[in-house]
Amino acid sequence: LRRGTTRKLRSRYETAYPHQCWQLDGKGPFPVTIAGVSRRVHVLSVIDDYSRYLLASVVVVSRGEDTAAAVRVLRLALDTYGLPERMQFDRGSAFDALDFRRGLALLGIHRNWVTARAAEAQGKIEAYHRVLTRWFVSELRHQEVLSVDHLEDLLHATLDLLYHRHRHRQLKMTPTQALQGRLSPRRVSTDDLHRAFWGSVKAKSHPKTGEVHLPNGAFRVPARYAGHRLTFRFDHAVPERAVLLLRTGDELALEPFVVKRAFATPPAAPPRGAGQLQKLLDRWRGHERPNAFPGFGLP
């Protein structure tokens, strides 16, 4: 009673078919050593409530669960599987952002209402997070991670080869068998899907260079608009996509502002990382390597 908790028994709800409800949440932060530097990492995931199948997942480094990461992971799921009828997530600032909620409303996706600090309502994705901790996060302490892209590939390989093929105790089958590759009958065009989550902001460009800083990066406006305070629309998930909103209502596409480098060298191909998760990634990419590691007495 002192803690304010109650012993009220909760009801269990189950969806009737795939893509009736999706759950979105983030795991983290947890430390990962990337190229010799310790970084704070979050993993954002979208799962199907009916099959527990992982529809999309992304890795976010340092900045945490923000609107850009939430839009990115949800857009990956929507591009592949179509639109769900409902979505459920907690009251995080990234999910309560105006642009994120407006995008869901424009697409006709209903949001289930949940109260703050009620983790029990997210039971299915919280169970997935416990599996992610045992099979992926704990294994990263013994895995060499070369870059953020390499870490994301390791995550996708682990989920595709282990999580999706593991028999679920409640479903009595694997998530892959439960979903059976079914897509949602609710679809929209790619342009409508991508423009639903755009944001709007007013900013002033530099009078000499035409450089303007938006939340998703720096852009260059045409010379006749340099030095003026104007309205811009930008894509949260894509750094190189923004438009200038003219007084006539038309949109003018902007190009990213590029700083010239005096001496540019092509990047070298990253080496292969060492660790148990790397074997899953090799098999996921289709070129499996021998199981033995070099050691004393071995060539």
67-111 pLDDT per residue, tens? 999 999 999 999 999 999 999 988 888 888 999 999 999 999 999
Query: Does pLDDT of 169 surpass 80?
Result: yes
142-151 pLDDT per residue, tens? 899 999 999 9
pTM for the model stands at: 0.81
Alpha helices per DSSP H over the chain: 67-81, 98-107, 123-132, 148-158, 175-179, 190-195, 276-285
**Angle, in degrees to the nearest 10, between helices 98-107 and 67-81:** 20
| CA 83 distance to own-chain centroid | 16
36-75 pLDDT per residue, tens? 899 999 999 999 999 999 999 999 997 778 899 999 999 9
pLDDT class for 221, splitting at 50, 70, 90? Answer: very high
Please give the backbone phi and psi of residue 129, each rounded to the nearest 5 degrees, phi first: -65, -35
Of 1-5, 11-15, 254-258, 285-289, the range with the lowest mean pLDDT is 1-5
**Angle, in degrees to the nearest 10, between helices 276-285 and 148-158:** 80
Helices then strands (H, E): number in the chain?
7, 12
Q: Cis peptide leading into 31, omega within 30 of 0?
A: no
Residue 120's pLDDT is: 65
Residue 282's pLDDT is: 82
- Work out the end-to-end distance of the chain between its first and last CA atoms, rounded to an integer number of angstroms: 66
242-275 pLDDT per residue, tens? 999 998 889 999 999 988 777 766 666 557 777 8
Answer whether 39's CB lies under 8 Å from 59's CB: no
The amino acid that residue 86 corresponds to is: R
pLDDT class for 298, splitting at 50, 70, 90? Answer: low
Alpha-carbon distances of 187 from 19, 78, 95, 193, rounded to whole Å = 12, 9, 22, 9
